[in-house]
Structure 1
């Protein structure tokens, strides 16, 4: 059993607990593969979140590099108990973030084993921080009416996602429909041009071999589904996309959180296959030595679920 997306309070100011506590909790719950993926640094003071205001940009960069040191230490220390993968979660606020990530990946080489490709901003404004900030991002688009503004917002989000996919080919597509975090009842079918962008992004990701995460964090955001919701699941499935699991934990208390609900959701949307990442001797489309592997056997029968449903 696996999760490919996590954070800790040691290296992410809006999370809690130490990275080692996260790893120990994953072991206790019976995870066999667990991904450690802190956010990459940001490059402008204006992009720091309120809880980070005491940090300089240099300190933020050092915090990320310290994460990599600790993650690899834990990977070695607990190798007999769990397979830890060391990756990162992307940011795309301006092109500065993409250029910074390109430089970072060249510098770090194989110390970064894989990427979770995520977008958390539109027009340079956070869309998952709180409802008023999301409203500011939405209001930053000029349009004749609310529907036009919503459409412009969604188009910008999926264009940013596409740019990220093209430049980095992340192995895991992070919370693909985060853009409707505060509007979970929104259906993309109401916006045909948005659907075209989604289909384009999904086709591109499928072609180079990405996995699409089914992310349990949506449940703690009061969604009745995981990310992505069922309409996106159908689009991914229609193009032959492959799914992997993530808890997107922000501390040991959230490791495996709502995985019992995730199991029910997977059954509901008829996901019959799961995939996960493992180290490889050959390079993938992005040039990183990691590959997707199909879950062997029936994932519904895995012993892991017995403890999550009791």
Structure 2
């Protein structure tokens, strides 16, 4: 059965002029207290369910440009935080997963072609990987979502594919995980993030996966996990990875730690697809 639950929210933004949706008009003075209130509630829930679930607390650190690195590191230094997910939602500071109009602006700013936009996306992702080395990399190929051809053979774009290979090797090198993110299915794509071509390559490199529904509401929890499990089986994946909190009590007080744990995919399957 499901033993670990990871709670996270998007990290606060430094400035919100290009951020559409619910945060428009807010500023950092509002978002930081909101983030702190989230942590208070997350602690309450962890305590409430401590005998039933291994509740982990974190956030999604969105890399919009290089000066977000210090903000994300500062938020991650809070002893309440177990780990954070590193992600890219913007290219050249323009949202690439909000709507077609913003995506078109991103294409234009990258020089007018999707190929160049993809190159910029994976280049800025590499900057994030090098600076933050997140334990989990979120929706690795989110750039697919609003693409004209989300299922394209990415190796046809030589420059793009070289950057993808480099980024995957970087994640393997520092010991990170890629999430199999089912929100892609919820939003109409045929495969989760990352797509099959990237997953197969990452597996050859020795990469490891975790799984996420990227919930933005109760109705999203566990959405399309059955399809994700079938997808992983088709890739030949036998294990997923998660984290466990370790608390050591010493003379100087409690020391918090996090250990990586493998979980047989079969066990995950039995949770969501009872025998």
| Same structural fold, with TM-score higher than 0.5 when normalized by the shorter chain | yes
Equivalent residue, structure 1, for 2:195:
229
1:77 aligns with 2:41: no
Q: Which residue of 1 aligns with 2:95?
A: 126
Q: Is the 8 A contact 1:243 1:275 kept in 2?
A: yes
Of 111, 120, 139 in structure 1, the residue corresponding to residue 108 of structure 2 is 139
Where does residue 251 of structure 2 map in the other structure?
none
Query: Closer, same or farther in 2 for the Cα pair 1:51/1:281, shift >3 Å?
Result: closer
Q: Give 2:9's aligned residue.
A: 38
Spell out the pairing of 1:77-226 with structure 2 (5 A cutoff): 77-106=48-77, 108=78, 110-142=79-111, 149-183=113-147, 184-226=150-192
Shift of the alpha carbon at 1:44?
1.0
Structure 2 stretches lacking a partner, 5+ long: 249-255
Query: Contact between 2:138 and 2:179, CA under 8 Å: does it hold in 1?
Result: yes
Structure 1 gap segments, 5+ residues each: 1-29, 144-148, 283-287
Q: 1:280 to 1:166 in 2, by over 3 A?
A: farther
Q: State the alpha-carbon separation in 1 of the partners of residues 160 and 185 from structure 2.
A: 24
Q: Displaced runs of 4+ in structure 1, greater than 6 A?
A: none
Deviations 1:59-109 (A, max 9, x none): 111111111111112111110111110011011112232222233334x2x
CA distance in 2, matches of 1:301, 1:165: 28
Cα distance change of structure 1 residues 57 and 206 upon mapping to structure 2, 3 Å threshold: same
The answer on 1:257 being equivalent to 2:237 is: no
1:304 aligns with one of 266, 271, 275 = 271
C-alpha separation in 1, matches of 2:74 and 2:205 = 33
Structure with more contact order per residue of length (Cα contacts < 8 Å, sep ≥ 6): 1
Q: Which has the higher strand share?
A: 2
In 1, Cα distance between the equivalents of 2:185 and 2:233?
A: 16
SS of residue matched to 1:45:
coil
| In 1, Cα distance between equivalents of 2:104 and 2:177 | 30
In the superposition, the TM-score normalised over structure 1's length comes to 0.80
In structure 2, how many angstroms separate the alpha carbons of the residues matched to 1:298 and 1:254? Answer: 21
The one-character-per-residue Cα deviations of 1:168-204 (angstroms, maximum 9, x if unpaired) are 1111111100011122222211111211111111111
Between the two proteins, the alignment pairs up a number of residues equal to: 266
Deviations 1:186-240, CA, capped at 9 Å, x for gaps: 2211111211111111111111111111111111111111111100001111110
Name the CA shift for 1:74/1:301 in 2 (closer, same or farther; >3 Å). closer
Q: Secondary structure at the match of 2:128?
A: helix
| Secondary structure of 1:290 counterpart | strand
Question: Residues 16 and 25 of structure 2 are in contact (CA less than 8 Å); yes or no, is this contact kept in structure 1?
Answer: no
Given that residues 213 and 220 in structure 2 are in contact (C-alpha distance below 8 angstroms), is that contact kept between their aligned partners in structure 1? yes
